[in-house]
Structure 1
């Protein structure tokens, strides 16, 4: 029976590498949902909203918003996108391992 202590160092290195990977970019709608969640928590502090109710309420408000009202969230999303691009460039510079591809042997017989 294997234990966690017997894990290979290669697996641990991959996990450490994944932890250093930058967080993904957020969309304008995701930023809007964050603020909508905070507003609803402030408005209904004792009520526990169902997730489907919450998303339905926020989605209806998002659909009726004008471009000027959405501009704040779009600006936040663009700023986050540039942050993500910069962090990914830095992250990928640290990964200088060449990708090894399996090469086919032309003399190898085909599968039956």
Structure 2
């Protein structure tokens, strides 16, 4: 008999740590929930922006303009990494009110 695995993302779920928590994939669990405060991403979002937009940011010679663009890209990454966005792209089963977490977990395990 297998022990059912459930995952609840409370805050940050990044990279391989998030996958390990969820048994290798958010789809490997019986249920994957997140609180509205949850964030999901392949890596820390600031680092992802630095790596993914390295050339674009390096091409901006004005330091203030480069910082403004970096902040804009980070804000966009946070918007896309929010739990509601991840749930919309089918990586999570649901985003729940923290007060409803226990009931949802019990229902998944019964």
TM range (shorter): 0.3 to 0.5
Q: Greater share of helix residues, 1 or 2? A: 1
TM-score where L is the length of structure 1: 0.37
Q: Greater share of strand residues, 1 or 2? A: 2
